Amino acid sequence: MSSILTNNSAMVALASLTDVNRNLNETQTRISTGLSIRSGKENAAYFSVSETMKGDSATFKALNDGMTATKNSVATARLGAETVKELSQQIVERVAFAQSGGIDPADVQLEIDAMVLNMQSAIDQSTFNGDDLVTGVAAVTVVTGVSRASGSFATTSIDFNSVDLQAIQTAMAGIDLATSTDLEADLATVETQLAASIDAATSLGITENTLEGQMMFLESLTDTFDSGVGSMVDANMEEEAARLQAYQVQQQLATQSLSIANQSPQNILSLFR
């Protein structure tokens, strides 16, 4: 039965066109944003996991930036410690040289004094952005990451100690051959300070290497997190391109179908002519 009040064909065609337009708009949005999941209503589980991973990735990047500053401070302190070590070795050689007969202790002392001044200069310049790791032994804690093991949030960290190069310099400055009556004791003193400077340089080198390793791990971990998030929420552009073309064809067909359906009442008029 045909009716001029109710056009069932047009209603079906309109519903089909509306559905195609909705799917087409969603596809165009995924193409323009590059995301297949943009909110919890699209896939609650994936959205929740991806947002958590995004947060952790951003945290790791921030921690990596902070560790960069700490590593630079440690590297600067290590350079100072190595300089102090080299100067300490030279002082040991001068004190050992002074053990020989026929050597003017005053001349040796002038060399030692110059080295001690250079040592102090190196210590004064071995700070990075005001971070002093060379004038006192103190525990330093660096946050290196976060953990969500067993569903609980916690931080991970690396602990190390700063070094006291100032104490080495002070001990070296106390050596006077010009007035000393026990050169063997002086030699033992500078040997002890040389060992201390070696320990300081070694300790800071180990710390720097540890921080660099952790930073490389964080960079890899961040890349893995970003890749994991992408696999869950990024749109597959090849599929979306194919889907877009299909919906565009369906839109044309649905529009044509609606146009044909809307012509049905006009066909009824021919019956009354």
- pLDDT digits over 105-142, tens only? 888 889 999 999 999 999 999 999 889 999 999 999 99
Looking at the fold, whether 204 and 72 belong to one and the same domain comes out as yes
Residue 4 within any structural domain of the chain: no
Full residue range of the structural domain in which residue 243 is found: 15-32+237-272
Looking at the fold, whether 263 and 129 belong to one and the same domain comes out as no
Looking at the fold, whether 44 and 60 belong to one and the same domain comes out as yes
Which residues is 145 bridged to in the sheet? 156
Q: Specify the pLDDT at position 14.
A: 87
Cα dist. 141→27, 74, 130 in Å? 49, 13, 17
Residue 267 within any structural domain of the chain: yes
Residue 3 within any structural domain of the chain: no
Looking at the fold, whether 23 and 130 belong to one and the same domain comes out as no
**Euclidean distance between CA atoms 173 and 109, whole angstroms:** 10
Residue 6 within any structural domain of the chain: no
Q: For residue 187, what are the contacts with CB-CB under 8 A and spacing of at least 6?
A: 92, 95, 96, 99
Residue 8 within any structural domain of the chain: no
Looking at the fold, whether 151 and 245 belong to one and the same domain comes out as no
- The pTM for the full model equals 0.75
Looking at the fold, whether 121 and 44 belong to one and the same domain comes out as yes
Looking at the fold, whether 72 and 152 belong to one and the same domain comes out as yes
Looking at the fold, whether 187 and 241 belong to one and the same domain comes out as no
Q: Specify the pLDDT at position 160.
A: 95
Q: Considering its fold, how many domains does the chain have in total?
A: 2
Residue 2 within any structural domain of the chain: no
pLDDT < 70 positions in the chain: 1-6, 101, 271-273
Q: Specify the pLDDT at position 124.
A: 94
**Euclidean distance between CA atoms 40 and 57, whole angstroms:** 20
Looking at the fold, whether 130 and 243 belong to one and the same domain comes out as no
**Closest of 124, 115, 225, 221 to residue 175, by C-alpha:** 115
Looking at the fold, whether 254 and 153 belong to one and the same domain comes out as no
Q: Specify the pLDDT at position 134.
A: 95
Residue type, 1: M
Looking at the fold, whether 27 and 47 belong to one and the same domain comes out as no
Residue 158 within any structural domain of the chain: yes
Looking at the fold, whether 211 and 259 belong to one and the same domain comes out as no
CB 186 within 8 A of CB 91: no
Residue 126 within any structural domain of the chain: yes
- What's 159's domain CATH number? 1.20.1330.10
SS3 sequence of 28-87: HHHHHHCECCCCCCCCHHHHHHHHHHHHHHHHHHHHHHHHHHHHHHHHHHHHHHHHHHHH
Element (H, E) at 6: none
